[in-house]
Amino acid sequence: MKHILLCCGGGFSSSLLVTKMQEVAKQYGEDAYHIWAIGVGEVERHLEHLRKADVLLVAPQVRYLLPDFQKLAKKEGLQLPIDMIQPMHYGTCNGQAVLTFADELINKKI
């Protein structure tokens, strides 16, 4: 099972994208993916989210936090890829494109 974590300002705007990604992920089997979203404040307060994730995808509106999240992951000894979701894919809730992007990042890590 692949664990995909999305992060946005409050965790709410990315929830629709999570739903779209889950719809696409069902074609790979019910247990192929676990996809969830949190707000930026949850990342540092609840590090278990990062520890459970195979990839962290950051919403475009909080892309300025990418370096902070990368430093935090390194400090915690985590090897997960962290990157920004393309604004067009985020804005249109393109679940297929974001799921494909997440898979590419996870596969690069392996």
**Which of 6, 8, 56, 85 does the annotation list as catalytic?**
8
The side-by-side arrangement of strands in the sheet containing 82-84 is 33-39, 2-8, 55-58, 82-84
How many other CB atoms are there within 10 angstroms of residue 70's CB atom?
17
What angle (nearest 5°) sits at the alpha carbon of residue 38, between those of residues 72 and 58? 60
Residue 7 annotated to the active site: no
Catalytic residues: 8
